Structure 1
Amino acid sequence: MARNEERRRAIADAGLAVLAASGARGLTHRAVDRTAEVPAGTTTNYFRSRSALWKGLVERIYERLAPSESFIAERAGREPTRELFAEYLRNIVQRLMDNREVTIALIELRLEGMRRPEVGEIIVEWRRTGFAGDVAFNEQAGLPGTAREIALFHFAVDGLLLDQLTGPLLPDEPVDDIVRTLADRLLPD
């Protein structure tokens, strides 16, 4: 069967929707077929096993949450300041909040990774690769902060997202202000 990448992405998106709505136990090839509104068995044609489906969903999360080329281009060549770093961080949080379903699916995958070693391996590899990319980007751009500060931001953003998705502790506090405060407090002078 010839691969149709557009259909593969649509099926992966349906898988993310199922995962976000029903959790890992609800994620089956049949459930994805129904959500994608494709004939029974179609998901299996693109993702032959449950493990392949997990991996495909992680890859799709990466695609959907990647920063836009225009966002990166607009900031290229600017002086590397704490404020510029905060702009990048705010963009990350905004992309995660704008893609709520994808973010919930990612949290579900991380939780499932604790229960299933095969999912855990996929998630850990993906997160560590992404983290290494974040550190490399930060260094190449000359932005403030070391790998340790980048890790601290990951920890903080994970908590911030969970807070925002499940009922914010400070509902009247704009997320941008929280992110700016994080940048101010976590980055060295």
Structure 2
Amino acid sequence: MVRNPERRTALVDAAIDVLALEGARGLTFRAVDARAGVPAGTASNYFSSRDDLLTQAGRHIHVRMTPDPAEIEAAMLPGPSRALAAGLMHWLVRRMEQERTGYLALLELRLEATRRPGLRAELTAALREVLDANVTFHLDSGMPGDAETVRMLYVAMTGLLVEHLTLPGVLGEETISRLVDALVEQLVPAQ
């Protein structure tokens, strides 16, 4: 197998784009090669199968969607509070709007994981790691609430983002901000 990490990352990023644009059925080596702008046959030199490509995309999706640590540090400047939690949730919505392709690809990967045990294991491990890191970050930073607060925000925001990024007309654009505020008000205790 070829060992060029930059090219492998470019191919996985291209696979994520293809997943978002064409769905799991559109994910072929040829489509990935075209999206990455590389010669035909390149992706098949890096990935042993379509399952391998899906699994690598599942591993990489959160790397692509994780904010820069400097952005996190800047976002945390106001200090732990319910208001900061609301600000962070609004920031999450903005980030996912900007990384809509990545979020839609993640939804495709989630659906595909229901049919592919290897992808399910990889995606479950990746999402669990992110959730555990969010719980740790929340608790270590002194934010109000506990681990259950973070898990409830995770579930609520996941549902909100699915509606907002797939069928925005269901909730309405103007409602998203109010819903985020209401979720935080209901789930995050005042300090």
TM-score, normalization by structure 1: 0.89
Q: Is the 8 A contact 1:144 1:188 kept in 2?
A: yes
* 1:162–1:2 Cα change, 3 Å: closer
Task: Give the counterpart letter for 1:47 in structure 2.
Answer: F
Contiguous gaps of at least 5 residues in structure 1: none
> Could you report, residue by residue, the CA deviation over 1:21-63 in whole angstroms, capped at 9, with x for unpaired residues?
2211221222211222211221123323333312321233212
Distance 1:94 1:75 in 2: 13
Letter in 2 for 1:178: L
Q: Note the residue ranges of structure 2 that are not aligned, 5 or more in a row.
A: none
Alpha-carbon shift at residue 176 of structure 1 (Å): 3.1
* 8 Å contact from structure 2 (residues 76, 84) kept in 1: no
Partner of 1:145: 145
Task: Note if contact 2:14-2:36 (Cα within 8 Å) is conserved in structure 1.
Answer: yes
Q: Tell me the secondary structure at the aligned position of residue 45 of structure 1.
A: helix
Q: TM-score, normalised by structure 2?
A: 0.88
Corresponding position of 1:80: 80
Deviation at 1:76, TM superposition (A): 4.5
Cα displacement (A) at 1:19: 0.8
Q: Where do residues 169-184 of structure 1 align in structure 2 (5 Å cutoff)?
A: 169-184=170-185
Query: Aligned partners of 1:170, 1:25: CA distance in 2, in Å?
Result: 28
Indicate the SS of the match to 2:145: coil
CA distance in 2, matches of 1:80, 1:88: 11
Partner Cα distance (2:75, 2:4) in 1: 36
Partner of 1:168: 169
The answer to whether the 8 A contact 2:16-2:101 is kept is yes
Work out whether 1:130 is the aligned partner of 2:154. Answer: no
AA aligned to 1:12 is V
**Contact 2:59 2:123 (C-alpha < 8 Å) held by counterparts:** no
In 1, the alpha carbon distance for the partners of 2:162 and 2:20 equals: 14
Q: 1:3 is matched with which residue?
A: 4
SS across alignment from 2:48: coil
Aligned length: 188
Instruction: Quote the Cα distance in structure 2 between the aligned partners of 1:138 and 1:89.
Output: 13
Superposition pairs of residues 37-48 of structure 1, within 5 angstroms: 37-48=37-48
Conserved 8 A contact 1:67-1:92:
no
Mapped partners of 1:83, 1:168: distance in 2? 27
- CA-atom RMSD, angstroms? 1.9
Distance 1:172 1:50, change over 3 A: closer
Hey, what's the Cα distance between the residues in 2 that align with 1:24 and 1:77?
Answer: 40
The structure-2 alpha-carbon separation of the partners of 1:119 and 1:4, relative to structure 1 and needing over 3 Å to count, comes to: closer
Paired residues for 1:15-164 under 5 Å: 15-76=15-76, 78-164=78-164
Shift of 1:167: 2.9
More divergent stretch after superposition (145-154 vs 127-136): 145-154
